[in-house]
């Protein structure tokens, strides 16, 4: 049995508890949450013991799942890693770059498995691109959300945009060359809207817009590459590909267009989007990595790299709410 302890039983923590319950071979040992009302509700609903001592919960587990506010990530993860326990931690990896670097070092020294909860990696619409060669030269991203006081202890960069930063870094296998950014705080003390341009050494350019005070919701990434356009709709779980038709292409809608270089045949397709629960997929992948002693799909280094770009963006915006080292 894979014994898991959950730290944080708030809005997202409850989703994690629901999904752990459905993963075969897993036992939820208990949870830790400092809020009495939340703890009482969760204990009754899930019939799980509440631990008042974080060390006791860590000691009773094989792995912990950290769904606590970002400013608590480091302290909880450090305790667990030093005790040789595997760690799943929600994004962002930590509250400061220094904390994140320390966690990466601790994981390397201890040999435990660590996975960061960049859940969009497991979004069905993104999973549908797994068999598509991705080599974009231009990326356009829109992530818009309605205002919700939950999660506003960090800026929109670390709250929302970091999802897209992680996705882009996983696709573009190149170092960041330059970043330009602008942002504005409207409802909170930190940026609520931001627009960012990232240029990579290989020539790829990514434009990202994030807002948490929008009237409508949107989570889209558009990839433009030499031979194709790929649209990924994370919100509506849809993926579309428009490309030059190749002989092996089947089950596609195709049409001809005249170009200065002659007639070209365009193929349009909607790759099969798997019917999966993204949170359950990422937690299952973490469990499998522990049992099979393989690399987690979103490592602590992935989490650090996404944070590094996010912090560079915050510096460009001129909002130094995050401790800079």
Give the CATH number of the domain where residue 202 resides.
3.30.360.10
Burial class (CB in 10 A: 0-12, 13-18, 19+), 119: buried
Residue 199 is inside which H or E element, if any? strand 193-200
In a domain, 180, yes or no: yes
Nearest-CA neighbor of 88 among 109, 117, 68, 61? 117
Confidence at residue 325, expressed as pLDDT on a 0 to 100 scale: 37
What would the two tokens of residue 62 be?
Answer: 């094989």
* Distance, first Cα to last Cα, the chain: 41
User: 26 or 250, which is more confident?
Assistant: 26
The least confident of 48-52, 185-189, 198-202 is 185-189
Residue 203 belongs to domain spanning: 122-273
How many distinct structural domains can be found in the chain? Answer: 2
Nearest-CA neighbor of 34 among 52, 13, 55, 16? 52
- Please name the residue that has the structure tokens 């818009």: 144
pLDDT above 70 covers a percentage of the chain that reads: 98
User: What's the CATH code of the domain at 88?
Assistant: 3.40.50.720
Same domain, residue pair 105 and 130: no
Q: Are 303 and 151 in contact (CB under 8 A)?
A: no
Q: Determine the Cα–Cα distance for residues 99 and 79; give it in Å rounded to an integer.
A: 13
Confidence at residue 322, expressed as pLDDT on a 0 to 100 scale: 37
What would the two tokens of residue 133 be?
Answer: 């060669």
Nearest-CA neighbor of 87 among 63, 111, 103, 104? 63
In a domain, 321, yes or no: no
Same domain, residue pair 68 and 165: no
What would the two tokens of residue 20 be?
Answer: 């752990």
Confidence at residue 123, expressed as pLDDT on a 0 to 100 scale: 98
Confidence at residue 273, expressed as pLDDT on a 0 to 100 scale: 96
In degrees, to the nearest 5, what angle opens at C-alpha 73 toward C-alphas 52 and 68? 55
Q: What number is the average pLDDT over the span 137-166? A: 91
What would the two tokens of residue 154 be?
Answer: 């960090």
Same domain, residue pair 246 and 166: yes
- Does the pLDDT of residue 324 top 70, yes or no? no
| pTM given for the model | 0.91
Same domain, residue pair 29 and 56: yes
Query: Predicted confidence band at 321 (pLDDT cuts at 50, 70, 90)?
Result: very low
- Does the pLDDT of residue 323 top 50, yes or no? no
Same domain, residue pair 223 and 283: no
- Does the pLDDT of residue 250 top 60, yes or no? yes
In a domain, 316, yes or no: no
List of residues 6+ apart from 52 with CB closer than 8 A: 32
Confidence at residue 190, expressed as pLDDT on a 0 to 100 scale: 87
Compute CA 146 distance to the chain's CA centroid, rounded to the nearest angstrom.
19
Confidence at residue 246, expressed as pLDDT on a 0 to 100 scale: 80
Strand partners, 6: 31, 65
Q: Determine the Cα–Cα distance for residues 285 and 92; give it in Å rounded to an integer.
A: 19
Same domain, residue pair 225 and 267: yes
Q: Determine the Cα–Cα distance for residues 117 and 298; give it in Å rounded to an integer.
A: 7
Residue 177 is inside which H or E element, if any? strand 176-184
Q: Are 72 and 99 in contact (CB under 8 A)?
A: no
Q: What number is the average pLDDT over the span 27-31? A: 98
Mean per-residue pLDDT of the chain: 93
Q: What number is the average pLDDT over the span 32-52? A: 96
- Does the pLDDT of residue 296 top 90, yes or no? yes
How confident is the model over 59-111, as pLDDT tens digits? 999 999 999 999 999 999 999 999 999 999 999 999 999 999 999 999 999 99
Same domain, residue pair 111 and 211: no
Q: What number is the average pLDDT over the span 148-162? A: 85
């Amino acid at each position: 049995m894979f014994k898991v302890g959950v730290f944080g039983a708030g809005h997202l923590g409850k989703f994690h508890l629901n999904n752990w319950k459905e993963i075969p071979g897993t036992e939820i040992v208990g949870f830790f949450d400092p809020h009495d009302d939340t703890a009482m509700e969760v204990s009754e609903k899930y019939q799980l013991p509440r631990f008042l001592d974080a060390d006791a919960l860590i000691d009773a587990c094989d792995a912990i799942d950290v769904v606590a506010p970002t400013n608590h990530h480091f302290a909880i993860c450090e305790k667990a890693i030093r005790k040789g326990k595997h760690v799943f931690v929600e994004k962002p990896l930590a509250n400061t770059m220094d904390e994140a670097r320390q966690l990466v070092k601790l994981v390397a020294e201890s040999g435990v498995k660590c996975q960061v909860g960049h859940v969009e990696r497991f979004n069905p619409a993104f999973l549908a691109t797994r068999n598509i060669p991705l080599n974009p030269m231009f990326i356009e991203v829109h992530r818009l959300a309605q205002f919700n006081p939950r999660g506003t202890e960090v800026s929109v960069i670390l709250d929302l945009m970091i999802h897209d930063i992680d996705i882009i870094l996983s696709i573009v296998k190149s170092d960041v060359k330059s970043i330009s950014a602008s942002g504005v705080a409207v409802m909170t003390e930190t940026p609520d809207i931001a627009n960012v341009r990232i240029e990579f050494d290989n020539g790829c350019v990514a434009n990202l817009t994030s807002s948490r005070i929008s009237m409508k919701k949107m989570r889209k990434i558009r990839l433009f590459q030499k031979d194709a356009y790929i649209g990924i709709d994370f919100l509506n779980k849809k993926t579309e590909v428009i490309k030059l038709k190749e002989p092996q292409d089947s089950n596609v809608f195709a049409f001809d267009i005249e170009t200065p270089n002659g007639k070209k045949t365009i193929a349009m397709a909607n790759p099969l989007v798997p019917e999966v629960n993204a949170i359950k997929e990422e937690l299952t992948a973490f469990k499998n990595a522990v049992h099979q002693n393989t690399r987690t799909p979103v490592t602590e280094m992935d989490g650090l790299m996404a944070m590094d770009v996010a912090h560079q963006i915050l510096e460009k915006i001129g909002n130094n709410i995050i401790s800079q080292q």
